[in-house]
């Protein structure tokens, strides 16, 4: 009972070789990327008779310019431990990760199983993160504009206050003199400055209201899009339920017709009825899955569809 079987020993050895090869493959990928970067940066390709780095890559490695620069981007933008990770996520996924900032990449890797996520699903996640970052940048620029406006207004107010204090001091000095005209003239200048300050305050209030109105409009548009998306989803589900009900009714109708087949009829007719119903149902199922290839549930749909095929195969095994 305690002795290990030959099959177990073989399986353990194969598992060890697979893991070792996986680690070597990742290390080789990192070394290759670093090699391309060093060859480009040091221009050592000139020593091999090439005037351009791209010519060296095409002639000596067979890689396109795009592939080579993707490899270089991987080692320039991603940490070594991610590239050398034991989970083989592939060059395409690593290239997608280079498009993200460090914070965005950390957020994605913490909430995503990179090894079991398809390239299409990862592309969608990267796209959503970039949209989120763009919106944050837009709001940040708006806030920066508002701060700049506030600073400008504050400087204008300080300048006006200093001028008012200066004029008030001059007025007090002039009031002690018997020159009413000068006092009247300077008093008008003070009034003009105060009026200018009121106009500045009014201009700032209008700009702030406009920014607040634009922000509210953006939030409303986002809410409307979300509501429309939910409505479209419910309509699609409703259509799917109706289609499934029709399919079920057709299937039950065909099955009920089985009891009316006489014993003299060929078994091929029965098989044809079953096959026609099955083909129709599977075709509808596949069309539905393909129509939802951009959905978050696409991976689940394809998995369940493949499980259905596996069940059919297992049922047909003798």
Q: Which two tokens stand for residue 191?
A: 């009034």
Q: Which residue pairs from 79-84 have beta carbons closer than 8 angstroms and sit at least 24 positions apart in sequence?
A: 80/30, 82/109, 83/26, 83/29, 83/30, 83/33, 84/23, 84/26, 84/27, 84/30
265-292: per-residue pLDDT in tens?
567 777 777 788 888 888 888 888 888 7
**Which ranges of the chain have pLDDT less than 50?**
1-2, 86, 179-183, 261-264, 318
DSSP string, 93-125: HHHHHTTS-HHHHHHHHHH--TTTS-HHHHHHH
- The pLDDT of residue 1: 43
For position 182, what pLDDT does the model report?
45
Residues 6+ positions from 73 with CB-CB distance below 8 Å: 95, 98
Q: Is the pTM of this model over 0.85?
A: no
The encoded tokens of residue 165 equal: 């204090």
Predicted confidence at residue 257, as pLDDT, reads 62
């Amino acid at each position: 009972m305690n002795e290990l079987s030959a099959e177990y020993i073989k399986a353990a050895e194969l598992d060890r070789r697979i893991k070792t090869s996986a680690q070597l493959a990742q290390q080789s990928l990192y070394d290759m990327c670093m090699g391309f970067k060093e060859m480009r940066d040091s221009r050592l390709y000139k020593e091999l008779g090439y005037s351009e780095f791209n010519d060296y890559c095409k002639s000596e490695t067979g890689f396109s310019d795009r592939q080579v620069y993707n490899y270089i981007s991987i080692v320039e933008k991603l940490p070594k431990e991610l590239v050398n990770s034991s989970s083989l996520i592939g060059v395409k996924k690593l290239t997608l990760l280079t498009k993200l900032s460090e914070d965005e990449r950390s957020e994605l890797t913490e909430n995503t199983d990179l090894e079991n996520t398809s390239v299409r699903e990862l592309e969608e996640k990267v796209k959503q993160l970039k949209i989120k970052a763009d919106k944050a940048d837009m709001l940040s620029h708006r806030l920066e504009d508002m701060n700049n406006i506030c600073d400008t207004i504050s400087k204008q107010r300080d300048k006006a206050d200093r001028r008012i204090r200066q004029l008030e001091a001059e007025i007090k000095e002039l009031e002690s003199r018997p020159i009413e005209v000068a006092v009247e003239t300077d008093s008008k200048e003070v009034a003009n400055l105060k009026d200018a300050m009121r106009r500045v305050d009014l201009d700032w209030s209008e700009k702030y209201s406009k920014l607040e109105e634009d922000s509210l409009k953006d939030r409303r548009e986002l809410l409307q899009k979300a509501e429309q998306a939910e409505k479209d989803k419910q309509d699609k589900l409703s259509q799917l339920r109706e289609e499934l009900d029709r399919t079920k009714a057709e299937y039950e109708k065909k099955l009920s017709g089985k009891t009316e087949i006489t014993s003299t009829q060929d078994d091929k007719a029965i098989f044809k009825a079953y096959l026609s119903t099955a083909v129709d149902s599977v075709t509808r199922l596949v069309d539905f899955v393909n129509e939802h290839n951009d959905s978050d549930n696409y991976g689940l749909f394809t998995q369940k569809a493949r499980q259905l095929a596996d069940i059919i195969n297992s049922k047909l095994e003798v």
